[in-house]
Amino acid sequence: MVDYSKWKDIEISDDEDDTHPNIDTPSLFRWRHQARLERMAEKEKEKERLLKEKNEYEKRVENLKKKLQGSDGNAESTDMTQLKEALQELEKKGQQLIEHEKELEKKDRSLSLFPPLLPFTPPSFPHRLLLPLPFSPSSLHPPSLPFTPPSFPSPPSSFPFPSPLLPSPSPFPSSLLLPFLPSPSLHPPSFPTPPPSLHPPLPPLSFSQIH
């Protein structure tokens, strides 16, 4: 026999319990919330740093282009080569900034291309309410097209078969049906009178004969 007595006092946690009984649940939620805020702040700092580097890069490129355009033909070749080399280095740095921006877009789609998409967390609820939708409502409900009634072809002047509205020819001769056919006028049809009876009519019965 198996002794189950050592398992009778096992504490089984409920499915609604998020944490262990020995862990302070409010403190754990507070730590998670703080970590979430720190991650969001770190993302914002990284975005600001990237934008700052892009602005500095654009300014330096403009300055170098102005120097190259403003330099005369009598300028020393060494200065021209230095300016061109500096411009090439800046172009390489610009490519690095573009790749960095693409990496940030993959990590967090809330950058440049998709600003409305923020992580669905409690701190971002107010921002999500103020931002526009990332899709067009017309994509879910396309506009209804104007209704055009269907057009049917007009029937031909002559049918190859008898029309259902016209009376079909009767298989009986017209002499038999002549008395019963409707008159062309609007008067009621006239029926032939019955032949006279061969027997005289019976006299009416009196009250005394009935009793």
Q: Which residue is associated with the tokens 């008898």?
A: 162
* pLDDT higher than threshold 50 for residue 117: no
pLDDT digits (tens, 9 = 90+) for 139-163: 555 556 666 776 766 665 555 555 5
Q: Where does the chain have alpha helices with state H?
A: 25-70, 77-107, 125-130, 137-140, 174-177, 207-210
Domain boundaries, the chain: 23-130
What's the token pair of residue 121? 């967390």
Looking at residue 69, its pLDDT comes to 75
Which amino acid would we find at residue 121? T
The neighbour count for residue 151, using CB atoms within 10 Å, is 6
pLDDT attached to residue 51? 84
**What pLDDT does 112 receive?**
42
CB 68 within 8 A of CB 155: no
The pTM of the whole model exceeds 0.85: no
Distance CA 141, CA 152 (A): 31
Mean pLDDT for 10-35 is: 70
Q: Tokens 């355009």 sit at which residue? A: 69
Name the token pair of 128. 């999500």
Structure tokens at 162: 């008898």
pLDDT tens digits for 79-98?
777 777 777 787 777 888 88
CA dihedral angle for residue 103, residue 105, residue 109, residue 110, rounded to 10 degrees: 130
Q: What is the pLDDT of residue 113?
A: 40
pLDDT (mean) for 157-184: 53
Query: According to the model, what pLDDT value does residue 58 have?
Result: 82
Mean pLDDT value across residues 112-118 = 43
Residue 41 has pLDDT above 80, yes or no: yes
Rounded to a whole number of angstroms, the distance between the first and last alpha carbons of the chain is: 112
Assess whether pLDDT exceeds 80 at residue 67. Answer: no
Instruction: Give the amino acid at 184.
Output: P
pLDDT class of 28 with cuts at 50, 70, 90: confident
